[in-house]
Every structure is written in C-alpha cells, then in structure tokens.
Amino acid sequence: MKTDQIRWNQTMIALEFGLDRKTARKRARALGFSPPYSTDQALAIVRTDLQGEKLRLVREQADRVALENAAARRELLPAKEIVAVVQRGLAAIAARAQELPELSATCKASIRAALAHTLEQVRSLAGAADR
C-alpha cells in the first residue's frame, strides 16, 4: 500500500512549529528550497531557528561568565559608589555656580534644577543596575 508524502508550505510550517510565515519563506530561500517542502526540508527550516536560539544562549552564557569574571577580578564598581562620586561632583558644580556673581538668580536656579535632574537620572540608572 502506497502512502502519500506530506508536503509542507510556509503557512503549515508556521502553524505547526510557531515560526513566522515570512521567516519560514526567507529561510527556505536561503537553503535553496522551493515549495512544496518535504518533511526533511520543513525540519531543516525549523532547525535553523533552533541553531539561532542555541547561538543566542551561548552568547548569553558567555556574557554571564564575563560579568562573573569581571566581578571576581574586582573590575566592576558598585552602583552606590558611582552615585556617591557623581553626587559629590554635582554638588561641587552647584556650589561653584552659586559663588559666581555674574550669574543671575534665575540662571543659578536653572543650574540647580538641571544638576538635580541629572543626579536623579544617575540614581535611576544605578537602581536599574542593582536589580
């Protein structure tokens, strides 16, 4: 008894394997396949996605190891220390600006507001880095 082979198109691959139809078409072209696809071809199209995910995972693992190594070598600064240094620097700038007699009160207030805003942004970034 002869059975018919399953033939795949991009929509079937997309539905069955959760791959975007356009991505399936692009990968099929890159592999030199044209529809309808055999099951082996369909799996090759999907496996390309798996290879990409494995590569992404390897890169993430390498990033994690690099960060761990940098921390072990004490190459990273704690965010709190960075905020403290920036805060002292901004305070020194604000104090110096207040001492300048040629600046108007409005200008000095604008400088204080800008420096406060900058400090808040640095604190926000540091808080995100701590998470």
Q: pLDDT tens digits for 23-81?
A: 899 999 999 999 999 999 999 998 876 777 888 899 999 999 999 999 899 888 888 88
* Cα–Cα distance for residue pair 106/52, rounded to 1 Å: 56
Domain boundaries, the chain: 10-72, 79-130
> Is the whole-model pTM more than 0.75?
no
Q: pLDDT tens digits for 72-81?
A: 998 888 888 8
* Cα–Cα distance for residue pair 65/27, rounded to 1 Å: 32
Can you say how many angstroms the Cα of residue 20 is from the centroid of all Cα atoms in its chain?
Answer: 22
Please, what is the end-to-end C-alpha distance for the chain in angstroms? 63
Structure tokens at 48: 């390309």
- Give the 3-state secondary structure percentages of the chain, helix then strand then coil, rounded to 5: 75, 0, 20
* Cα–Cα distance for residue pair 37/10, rounded to 1 Å: 9
